[in-house]
Structure 1
Amino acid sequence: MTQQFSSPPHLLMGADALEAAAERLPRLGTRALVVTDPGIVAAGIDRIVTDVLGAAIPFSTFADVVGNPDIDTVEAAARARETTGADVLIAIGGGSSIDVAKSVAVLGTNGGSITDYEGVDRFTARPLPVVVVPTTVGSGSEVTKGAVITNPETQVKMVIVSDLMFAEIAVLDPRVVAGLPGRIAATTGMDALTHAIEAYVAQGANPVTDAMCLGAIELIGEHLVAATQGDPDSLYGMLVASSMAGIGFHDAGLGAVHALANTLGAHFGVHHGTANALFLPYVIDFNLPAAPARFARIARALGEEVGGLSDDEAAARASVAVHRLAEQTGVPRTMSELGVPRDAIPRLAADALAQADLPGNPRPVTLEDLITLYERAA
């Protein structure tokens, strides 16, 4: 079987990453639209970025991105771009802002509605250039070749994917995550761990994605707990790990955690990282029999002592490690904590069965399995 690896955007990393991006920005366009959310603006994080990048190119700001962004958000941002005449997008934020910016870039050269491009390779014109400055430590969207946008009519998260959707530049600057609240570091950090683990055991894994995912898992095991406590070096370590996990999963694929989480987010508006963190430990338990050798390597990457253990015994240590991280970071462990009623499970499971990420799971998943997984997390 032919395997693949798609080259991610140009990564600029470290203390002067924003300044390095500013030098390159005028080559991409003449006016920028900054795409961000109200929380980023309220915290002043957008100014950390625009004080540097704004000196290189004039810009306007669209700051109305919502969590689990929907079609209306994309259309509003697209109108803002048309009004201002921006020919380059700068996304500042988590996965929501990044996905909206990438979607607007597609519409900027292809026209129509974002619903026209659901699926893989549904457009032909190269999108407008996008510069991405992630401000959380989990989505990985800065290095992936797609976007996820909610269709509120169908309660489905649409996936738009193309090799043309990579950002031009992804900026990993420690300044923008230095003050990340512990709660957000926890949920987005567990999101990154989900990406790395799911991709490492996914059907589409290959040696290149394996290297990225295992490296990310090691960094997350080293830095996640300290990052939730505000340690700046660990927050930067998690920022890099998130991008590494993103590079891994966009070719290797994902699995049942994302099928469960995307469906929960579409129906109840649950933050994507929170949903992934909720389901990850239970799906690992489900998947252990399908890939014991790989889960054994995950356990070692997370720092578990597995010398002398069989693959099955070592794999079980991966489950122990992830359950412990979930407890240490304080992420939600049940859907009831998120206000999700148990009687929603049959509908959630039916919709999760149709999720595009599900076939990548290392163990086949039935409707009954999905119901059981939702019930474990209820």
Structure 2
Amino acid sequence: MQFRNFKMVDYVVYGRGCFAQLDEILAPRRSDGKPMIFLLDHHFEQDAAFQSRIPLRGTDELIIADVTHEPKTSYVDEITRNIRERHGVVSGIIGIGGGSVMDLAKAVAIMMTNEGRAQDYQGYDLVKNKAVYKVGIPTISGTGAEVSRTCVLTGPEKKLGMNSDFTPFDQIVLDPELIKGVPKDQNFYTGMDCYIHCIESLDGTFLNMFSKSYGEKALEMCRNVYLRKDVWDEDSDEQLMMASYAGGMSIAYSQVGVAHAVSYGLSYLLGTKHGIGNCIVFNHLQEFYPEGVAEFHEMVRKHNIHIPTGVCAGLSDDEFNKMIDVSLGMKLLWENALGKDWERQMTRERLRALYEKL
């Protein structure tokens, strides 16, 4: 039997206020005056106070990353090209923000050392050269992008990540202070990404003790935050940050399932953001995850969250077929959810019917 030799994040710093150590962390990674490039979530574009905390030195550059939509391969290519034109070689790429910014940072770090276009590396183990040094700093929790082996991108033909041993961050900074004050709905949508990771991983055919141990703990923390607490407090931020980390670790050695496979189609065609897309889909997956969906509905009621409906109303046959094509391309996700004979179970007709419910 061949076991996968899983590449993890090299260094992790955790603790309230640890963002202040970033300058010290980066110092030994600076090379011959080559700059560090900081990709900052556009949410902080007008936040001068937060920007002043970012340790810019010498020719370092701060780039505001527009993640109104999830990152496209063309956007990765544009940022990479601009960095090369202005700086040539860099010391590292630091992503500060949500999952989209962290995925963007991972992708740009890879493209700094690999030829061609970002779309050429969408898939498994296609990256040839080690990326430049890269750091992930989440300012919202749930996606698990800080620990994942992939960076999910929308290309001209598909939505699929650069999944390779060169993708994980070299360093992550987990500071619960940074996720304080996230708007309630966004906090819920992103936190549910973690919750759904856990449900899909723990119910999947790829489940193993490595995934189970992380998934069960992440699920417990999600339940603590979204079901057992009546007031959001500092402990909630800390639990959700670690749930995101553990949830990401859980799927790293297994896989996600139906909700993610279906939501990829929504994202590709409609531009639906990942967290809310998973919620839109999971809301209708009672036949696959009855207990998890019932609990999800309880969380939605408790926090008075709006889950959009009717998002696929009025789509043409061609549009439905494009979503179906993208979704069925997520073969490992479907196999984890339904087993090796998933193609017999998840026909195009059955998937079309599911999309029509959304």
TM-score (norm 1): 0.82
The answer to whether the 8 A contact 2:17-2:177 is kept is no
1:8 is matched by which residue type in structure 2?
M
One of 349, 366, 373 as aligned partner of 2:324? 349
SS of structure 1 residue aligned to 2:287: helix
Distance 2:49 2:199 in 1: 30
Aligned partner of 2:8 in structure 1 is: 8
Query: What value does the CA root-mean-square deviation take over the aligned residues?
Result: 2.5
- Residue 333 of structure 1 is matched in structure 2 by 307
Distance in 2 (CA, whole Å) between partners of 1:331 and 1:8 is 34
Q: 1:117 corresponds to which residue?
A: 121
Equivalent residues in 2 for 1:258-297, closer than 5 Å: 258-283=260-285, 285-288=286-289
Deviates more, 1:316-325 or 1:116-125: 316-325
Alignment of 1:1-378 (within 5 A): 2-4=2-4, 6-9=6-9, 10-30=11-31, 31-43=35-47, 46-47=50-51, 51=53, 53-54=55-56, 59-66=60-67, 67-82=69-84, 83-85=86-88, 86-151=90-155, 153-154=156-157, 156-224=158-226, 230-283=232-285, 285-288=286-289, 316-336=290-310, 338=311, 341=314, 343=316, 344-356=319-331, 357-362=333-338, 364=342, 365-377=346-358
Choose 28-37 or 244-253, whichever is displaced more: 28-37
Deviations along 1:169-189, one digit per CA (max 9) or x if unpaired, are: 111101210111111101101
Pick closer, same or farther for the CA change 1:361–1:5 going to 2, 3 Å.
Answer: farther
The aligned amino acid for 2:293 is S
Task: Tell me which amino acid in the other structure corresponds to 1:146.
Answer: T
Alignment partner of 1:252: what SS? coil
Q: Please identify, of 210-219 and 364-373, the stretch whose mean Cα deviation from structure 2 is larger.
A: 364-373
- Describe the shift of the 1:77–1:117 C-alpha distance in structure 2 as closer, same or farther (beyond 3 A): same
Q: 1:111-141: CA deviations, max 9, x gaps?
A: 2211121211112211011111011112111
User: What is the count of residue pairs matched by the alignment?
Assistant: 343
* Structure 2 stretches lacking a partner, 5+ long: none
Evaluate the alpha carbon distance shift between residue 41 and residue 21 of structure 1 in structure 2; reply closer, same or farther with a 3 A threshold.
same
Does structure 2 retain, via aligned residues, the 8 Å contact 1:65–1:73?
no
Return closer, same or farther for 1:112/1:73 CA change in 2, 3 Å cut-off. Answer: same
Structure (1/2) with the larger helix percentage: 1
Rounded Cα–Cα distance in structure 2 between residues aligned with 1:147 and 1:80: 20
Per-residue CA deviations over 1:319-344 (Å, capped at 9, x if unaligned) read: 321221133344443432x5753555
Q: Secondary structure at the match of 1:139?
A: coil
The 1-side partners of 2:232 and 2:134 are apart by: 29
Q: What SS is found at the alignment partner of 1:202?
A: coil
1-side partners of 2:48 and 2:192: how far apart? 25
SS in structure 1 at match of 2:6: coil
Give the secondary-structure state (helix, strand or coil) at the position aligned to 1:131.
strand
Q: How far apart, CA to CA, are the structure 2 residues paired with 1:369 and 1:15?
A: 47
Distance 1:326 1:369 in 2: 26
CA contact (8 A) 2:313 2:356 kept: no
Specify the code of the residue in structure 2 equivalent to 1:134. Answer: P
Distance 1:53 1:228 in 2: 37
Q: Call closer, same or farther: CA 1:52–1:340 in 2, change over 3 Å.
A: same
- Code of the residue aligned with 1:192 in structure 2: it is C
Q: Distance in 2 between matches of 1:330 and 1:270?
A: 21
SS in 2 for 1:19: helix
157-166 or 221-230: which moved more?
221-230
Q: CA deviation at 1:8?
A: 2.3
Q: Quickly say closer, same or farther: Cα 1:72–1:197, change in 2 above 3 A.
A: same
Point out the more displaced range, 22-31 or 186-195: 22-31
Secondary structure of 1:244's aligned partner: helix
Letter in 2 for 1:16: G
Partner of 1:297: none
Going from structure 1 to structure 2, the CA distance change for 1:181 and 1:229 (only over 3 Å counts) comes to: farther
**Residues of 1 paired with 2:19 and 2:26: CA distance?**
10
Unpaired runs of 5+ residues, structure 1, are 289-315
What is the deviation of 1:13? Answer: 1.0
Residues 147 and 245 in structure 2, CA contact (< 8 A), matched pair in contact too: yes
